[in-house]
């Protein structure tokens, strides 16, 4: 009986997903109205999702993750148990295609951990050229990149770096950054993004 009561005390899946949506919306600095305008999902529906009052469809969650510019898998991170050690075998990981970007970026999440109000996510990223319109990114946290295949020119702030296999780059994510030119048709790199986690948002 005690085990059943303990199990019922765990937050429901909808509540965990809703809390994650609210958390990432707050990290992105978006109001309900701004997220609604970006995603095409009504403010009333987003509010219900964040309070765990509805089971959002994957289509709706994809629209929200694209609007916030985070991988869809982030909304489900709290639905699995926390581990202080994470191992991903070679060639494995969770593949995430950036939604709505049109830039041909393929992301494979290969690690995630959090402790003491700080978290990080690591990805294996593959870019396919040419870049018709070079993307520019800005978000919270600090980032480390290590190029493993191909060559590209990568911009960080006012500086441009010609990166080759073995080159690394570290920077504040608030600085505008992104690939400027792919010198080879395919470029792959490992990236790690770390950021402080906030507990609550209005």
Write the pLDDT tens digit of every residue in 124-150.
Answer: 889 987 877 788 888 888 999 999 999
pLDDT at 111: 80
Q: Report the Cα–Cα distance between both ends of the chain, in Å, rounded.
A: 37
- How much is the mean pLDDT over the chain? 80
pLDDT at 143: 93
Task: Of 175, 72, 191, 16, give the one whose Cα is nearest residue 121.
Answer: 191
pTM of the entire predicted model: 0.53
Cβ atoms < 10 Å from Cβ of 88: 15
Q: What is the mean pLDDT of residues 95-100?
A: 45
Is residue 155 a contact partner of residue 176, using CB atoms and an 8 Å limit? yes
Q: Which residues pair with 114 in a beta bridge?
A: 119
Residue 116, pLDDT above cutoff 80:
no
On the 0-12 / 13-18 / 19+ scale of CB atoms within 10 A, 134 is middle
Of the ranges 12-21, 145-154, 191-200, which one carries the lowest mean pLDDT score? Answer: 191-200
Residue 32, pLDDT above cutoff 90:
yes
**Axis-axis angle for helices 43-50, 32-39 (nearest 10):** 110
Residue 123, pLDDT above cutoff 70:
yes
pLDDT at 3: 38
DSSP 137: B
Q: Which residues pair with 122 in a beta bridge?
A: 111, 192
Is residue 126 a contact partner of residue 106, using CB atoms and an 8 Å limit? yes
Q: How confident is the model at residue 71 (pLDDT cuts 50, 70, 90)?
A: confident
Q: Which residues pair with 156 in a beta bridge?
A: 159, 177
- In a 13 Å sphere around the CA of 127, the CA atoms on its Cβ side amount to 29
């Amino acid at each position: 009986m005690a085990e059943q009561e303990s199990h019922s005390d765990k937050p429901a899946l909808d509540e965990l997903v809703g809390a994650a949506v609210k958390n990432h919306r707050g990290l992105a600095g978006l109001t309900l109205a701004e997220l609604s305008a970006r995603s095409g999902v009504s403010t009333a529906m987003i509010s219900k999702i964040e309070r765990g009052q509805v089971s959002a469809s994957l289509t709706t969650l994809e629209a929200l993750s694209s609007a916030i510019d985070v991988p869809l898998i982030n909304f489900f991170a709290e639905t699995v148990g926390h581990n202080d050690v994470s191992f991903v075998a070679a060639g494995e990981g969770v593949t995430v295609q950036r939604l709505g970007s049109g830039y041909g970026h393929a992301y494979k999440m290969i690690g995630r951990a959090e402790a003491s109000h700080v978290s990080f996510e690591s990805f294996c990223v593959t870019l396919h050229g040419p870049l018709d319109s070079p993307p520019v990114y800005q978000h919270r946290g600090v980032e480390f990149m290590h190029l493993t295949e191909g060559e590209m020119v990568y911009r960080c702030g006012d500086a441009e770096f010609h990166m080759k296999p073995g080159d690394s780059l570290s920077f504040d994510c608030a600085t505008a950054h992104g690939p400027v030119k792919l010198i080879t048709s395919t470029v792959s790199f490992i990236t790690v993004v770390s950021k402080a986690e906030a507990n609550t948002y209005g």
